């Protein structure tokens, strides 16, 4: 092996590709029921788009972006910023007052690879742009959870918080820093680094010492306005009415600067340290920050590989690959030519068929037909070609019937 794939990437081999297709199809159906439309954007964007929206001091922008051409462009590390860019650039606000959009695509982050964390990974996600009604928050959370439920995933915890507006956070961050100053030296190195540049993220620390210190820290919720608190209470009540189980976690802040108001994350213990399956929140200021009119919005992204890890652990039964309807066994060159032409004719009629591509013996061709789980087999040799008579064999019970060779491409392949 001369050259291997880059670290943190993976090949998707046929069996897994089939599984992914099944996952995608199922998720797309749910998204369609919720009335979301797909949006696709370029794989790379101007680097400034991500700097401006995600924030220069975040982990993603400060150390995880794949940037090139003198830093002008960057492979997308997430989709919210590109979707908002596309929304503005294509004046989508003129079309409908509320846009309900989804994507299903790959992302790139130069992270330290580990189980469930890759440098190229797939996400499906939604963005609802144009409404500040809390029912949207509930719908979006319900949608994400329904996807998990339809895959039979039950062992999850849904965490919800409200991180308020930038103004509401300002006073909190001041007080948080004041409180943390006396512990600065004992905080983890990551938290020490975040203290100056991104103190809110310290709340997210998984380090036991940090967690202990944070126990008596100021609580962000207490800094929220009555209006924000009422929004949060309404959302919580609605989620309860929907019988959604969740925990309020006042320390839940997410990794991107654009988040405001509602934040949420769904975690699974099956996932180890990278335990979030999906997460998101409101980003009510982002459209304006990118040059649009003030427009509230909310979204989330779900990692497909993490979803698959949980599915594999729960021994999820993926559907079987569609079986071959017919395998044409051929003996000799003339029959091989006949077999391939006939197979192509049948494929045009929507039958899944296979032929021998290795000039093998009848025995190994039959073996191949079995391996491919072919429903029917026809053996064609010079005799069959001459007499125009062959046998159609049903593999499940060995029943055979006579067929005319020149009518093979007109049969309906249903012996009953
Ligand atoms: P984020 O875009 O960081 O809010 O992440 C949303 C979801 O994407 C997470 O909950 C994960 O399921 C998934 N995800 C994020 N980063 C990675 C990664 N490096 N590798 C695999 N999945 C990821």
First to last CA, the chain: 51
pLDDT at 199: 92
Judging by beta carbons within 10 Å of its beta carbon (0-12, 13-18, 19+), is residue 70 exposed, middle or buried? exposed
Whether 120 lines ligand 1, by a CB cut-off of 6 Å, is no
Q: Which two tokens stand for residue 3?
A: 């050259």
pLDDT at 273: 84
Phi/psi zone of residue 86: left (φ > 0), alpha (ψ -120 to 50 degrees), beta? alpha
Cα(180)–Cα(209) distance, integer angstroms? 12
Residues 236/160, Cβ–Cβ less than 8 Å:
yes
pLDDT at 181: 94
Residues 201/188, Cβ–Cβ less than 8 Å:
no
Q: Render pLDDT for 134-145 as a digit per residue (tens, 0 to 9).
A: 999 999 999 999
Going by pLDDT thresholds of 50, 70 and 90, the confidence category of residue 255 is confident
pLDDT at 137: 98
Question: 3-class DSSP state for residue 279?
Answer: strand
Strands 297-303 and 120-129: antiparallel
Whether 277 lines ligand 1, by a CB cut-off of 6 Å, is yes
CA-nearest residue, atom 17 of ligand 1: 117
Whether 103 lines ligand 1, by a CB cut-off of 6 Å, is no
DSSP letters along 181-236, please?
Answer: HTTTTTS-HHHHHHHHH-GGGGGG---HHHHHHHTTS--GGGGS-HHHHHHHHHHH
| pLDDT over 90 at 186, yes or no | yes
Q: For 241-270, what is the mean pLDDT?
A: 95
Q: Render pLDDT for 59-89 as a digit per residue (tens, 0 to 9).
A: 999 999 999 999 999 999 999 999 999 999 9
Residue 407 DSSP symbol? G
C-alpha separations of 36 from 12, 28, 121, 169 in Å = 27, 9, 22, 32
Whether 268 lines ligand 1, by a CB cut-off of 6 Å, is no
Q: For 356-370, what is the mean pLDDT?
A: 97
Whether 8 lines ligand 1, by a CB cut-off of 6 Å, is no
Residue 257 DSSP symbol? T
Please state the atom number of ligand 1 nearest to the C-alpha of residue 278.
Answer: 10
Cα(187)–Cα(212) distance, integer angstroms? 10
The pTM of the whole model exceeds 0.85: yes
Cα(326)–Cα(375) distance, integer angstroms? 6
Q: For 2-24, what is the mean pLDDT?
A: 97
Whether 306 lines ligand 1, by a CB cut-off of 6 Å, is yes
Q: Render pLDDT for 197-226 as a digit per residue (tens, 0 to 9).
A: 889 999 988 899 999 999 999 999 999 999
Distance 199 CA to ligand 1 centre (A): 21
Strands 353-355 and 326-330: parallel
Q: Render pLDDT for 295-327 as a digit per residue (tens, 0 to 9).
A: 999 999 999 999 999 999 999 999 999 999 999
* Percentage of the residues of the chain whose pLDDT score is greater than 90: 94
pLDDT at 415: 80
pLDDT at 414: 87
Closest CA to 324 of 360, 361, 369, 379: 369
Label residues 129-139 b or e (16+ Cβ within 10 Å = b).
bbbeebebbbb
Q: What is the 3-state secondary structure (H, E, C) of 329-384?
A: EECCHHHHHHHHHHHHHHHHCCCCEEECCCCCCHHHHHHHHHHCCCCEEEEECHHH
pLDDT at 272: 85
| pLDDT over 80 at 416, yes or no | no
Q: For 36-52, what is the mean pLDDT?
A: 98
Testing ligand 1's pocket by substitution, the residue of 276, 300, 305, 308 carrying the most ligand atoms inside 8 A of its CB is: 276
Average pLDDT, the chain: 96
CA-nearest residue, atom 10 of ligand 1: 278
Whether 109 lines ligand 1, by a CB cut-off of 6 Å, is yes
Distance 303 CA to ligand 1 centre (A): 5
Distance 337 CA to ligand 1 centre (A): 50
């Amino acid at each position: 092996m001369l050259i291997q794939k880059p670290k943190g990437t993976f090949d998707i081999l046929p069996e897994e590709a089939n599984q992914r297709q099944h996952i995608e199809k199922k998720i797309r159906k749910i998204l369609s029921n919720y009335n979301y439309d797909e949006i696709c954007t370029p794989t790379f964007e101007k680097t400034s788009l991500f700097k401006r929206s995600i924030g220069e001091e975040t982990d993603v922008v400060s150390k995880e972006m794949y940037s090139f051409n003198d830093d002008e462009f960057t492979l997308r590390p997430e989709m919210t910023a590109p979707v908002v860019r596309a929304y503005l650039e294509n004046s989508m606000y003129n079309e409908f007052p509320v846009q309900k959009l989804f994507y299903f695509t790959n992302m790139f982050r130069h992270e330290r690879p580990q189980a469930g964390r890759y440098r190229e990974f797939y996400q499906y996600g939604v963005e609802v742009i144009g409404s500040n009604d809390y029912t949207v928050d509930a719908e979006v959370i319900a949608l994400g959870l329904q996807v998990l439920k339809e895959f039979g995933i039950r062992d999850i915890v849904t965490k919800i918080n409200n991180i308020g507006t930038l103004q509401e956070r300002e006073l909190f961050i001041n007080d948080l820093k004041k409180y943390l100053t006396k512990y600065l030296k004992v905080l983890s190195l990551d938290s020490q680094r975040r203290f100056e540049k991104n103190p809110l993220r310290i709340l997210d620390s998984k380090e036991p010492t940090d967690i202990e210190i944070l126990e008596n820290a100021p609580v962000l919720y207490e800094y929220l306005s009555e209006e924000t608190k009422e929004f949060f209470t309404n959302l919580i009540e609605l989620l309860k009415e929907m019988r959604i189980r969740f925990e309020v976690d006042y320390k839940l802040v997410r990794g991107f600067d654009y988040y405001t108001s509602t934040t949420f994350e769904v975690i699974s213990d099956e996932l180890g340290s990278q335990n979030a399956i999906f997460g998101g929140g409101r980003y009510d200021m982002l459209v304006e920050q990118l040059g649009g009119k003030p427009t509230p919005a909310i979204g989330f992204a779900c990692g497909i590989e993490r979803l698959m890890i949980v599915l594999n652990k729960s021994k999820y039964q993926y559907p079987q690959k569609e079986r071959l309807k017919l395998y044409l066994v051929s003996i000799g060159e003339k029959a091989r030519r006949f077999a391939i032409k006939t197979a192509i004719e049948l494929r045009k009629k929507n039958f899944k068929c296979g032929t021998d591509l290795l000039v093998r013996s009848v025995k190994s061709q039959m073996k191949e037909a079995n391996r491919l789980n072919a429903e029917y087999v026809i053996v064609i040799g010079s005799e069959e070609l001459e007499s125009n008579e062959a046998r159609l064999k049903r593999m499940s019970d060995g029943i055979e019937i006579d067929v005319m060779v020149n009518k093979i491409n007109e049969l309906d392949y249903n012996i009953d």
